[in-house]
Amino acid sequence: MTLCGIVAEYNPLHCGHIYHMEQARARSGCQYVAAVLSGSFVQRGDIACADKWTRARWALCAGADVVFELPTAYVLQSAEQFAAGGVAVLSATGMLTALSFGSERAETEALQRAASALDTPAFQALLRAELAAGRGYPAACRSAFAALLPELGEAAGAPNFLLGASYLRALQRLCPQARALPVLRVGEGHESQKNAGRYSSATAFRTALQERDEALLAQLPPFVRQSFTGREPAGLQRLSQALLYRLRIASDSELFSLCGAEEGLQNRLRLAGNQTDAASCLGALRTRRYTDARLRRLLCAALVGFTKDLQRAANAAPPYLRVLGIRKESRALLGELKKTCTVPLLCRAADMKALSGAAAGLCALDHRAADIAALAQSPAFPAGRDYTEPLVVV
């Protein structure tokens, strides 16, 4: 069996994502398309706008054959580790044939040059110099690419281009036999708030959900739009009190143990706990050197108890393959996965309860993340859904 993988967040899913999935299926020629979906949190350092089962259903309705959960330990790390985690999960299926992703430049050769440059001494020296000058990581990468590979142009600094280069580097290391299939992004850029109709960015659609901009929301696929009938999108700001409680009761050693609490950031976390909401926490953490996304991820790590020990365990090897949903006509894939999967395959509550060691700790982190994120939904969900929600079948 052949499988084309997509690492996604669908926060929320929109027509640009459907276009990407259609292109991935057509160009890969694979029997199956698998989406690896960030679970309760997203890599920009926030709670996903809808829970992971709802978003898994969106992915299946949009054309995916199966949806896996990307463990929280990968979601709340840098874009580089997010990409590596996604590729590691897909590689663990034992049948990854192709990996597709959106990019501001879809030429595989350009992405390959960027991926190869990332580990060179020249790039690393330029990167260190930019970081030492106080630039954030994305800006430092842009400057390093501009100096080393000026022919890549402005696209080299675009978020999805950098993520694409990270995917290629991860593929080379973890699954070199799989093909990379970049798809040119359509519509507005990653952070654009512009109303571009059905091809507006996920950022614009999140704003529309918050502000109930019905004109723009009408451009979402109906099965996505219906999910928010009588329900507000989730967000970290809704959990301000929970976040402040966690920061105020944590010891100095607990703050330092958090993933991302390096170079004195644990001291700023202590000050952040003196604030009054999540937004002012971020303001207290903010420095010129770190992006807001990295600092938001640190706050999320504090909220769910994501430690450096859990980070190391996740980065050593993918702990399991959690199936969130599958299409009815693709159920034969589950039987094949049981034969080819190189890590524990989790389809039922009993599978999760059977985990031990590092895998059990990382699975518990996923469950904490889901239970905490459930409080940010409006109305809120009860805890324990990881053990009570059935496999999503469409």
CATH 3.30.1330.180 for domain 3-104+158-234+313-393: no
Domain ranges, ordered by start, for the chain: 3-104+158-234+313-393, 236-310
Query: Which whole number is the average pLDDT over 96-120?
Result: 90
**What is the Cα–Cα distance from 362 to 359, expressed in whole angstroms?**
5
**Range in 110-114, 133-137, 291-295 the model is least confident about:** 133-137
- Cβ atoms within 10 Å of 153's Cβ, excluding its own: 15
Residue 324: is its pLDDT beyond 70?
yes
pLDDT at residue 190, rounded to an integer: 67
Q: Tokens 């070199």 identify what position?
A: 176
Say how far apart CA 67 and CA 133 lie, in whole Å. 42
> What's the mean pLDDT when you consider all of the chain?
94
> 225 forms bridges with which residues in the sheet?
none
Question: What is the C-alpha to C-alpha distance for residues 344 and 53, in angstroms, rounded to an integer?
Answer: 20
Q: Is the pLDDT of residue 221 over 80?
A: yes
User: What percent of the chain is predicted at pLDDT more than 90?
Assistant: 80
Which of 115-124's residues contact partners 24+ apart within 8 Å by CB, and which partners?
115/165, 115/166, 115/168, 115/169, 115/172, 117/145, 117/148, 117/149, 118/165, 118/166, 118/169, 119/169, 120/148, 122/148, 123/148
- Would you tell me how many other CB atoms lie within 10 Å of the CB of residue 69? 26
Mean pLDDT on 218-246: 96
For residue 192, pLDDT over 80 is answered with no
Mean pLDDT of 98-123: 90
**What pLDDT is stored for residue 146 in this prediction?**
86
Per the model's pLDDT, the better-predicted residue between 133 and 387 turns out to be: 387
Residue showing tokens 């994305």: 138
Round to whole Å and give the CA distance between 309 and 361. 10
Residue 271 CA, chain-centre distance (Å), reads 28
Looking at 122-131, 150-159, 372-381, which range is the least confident one?
A: 150-159
What residues contact 57, with CB distance under 8 A and at least 6 apart? 223, 325, 392, 394
- Whether residue 187 has pLDDT greater than 80: no
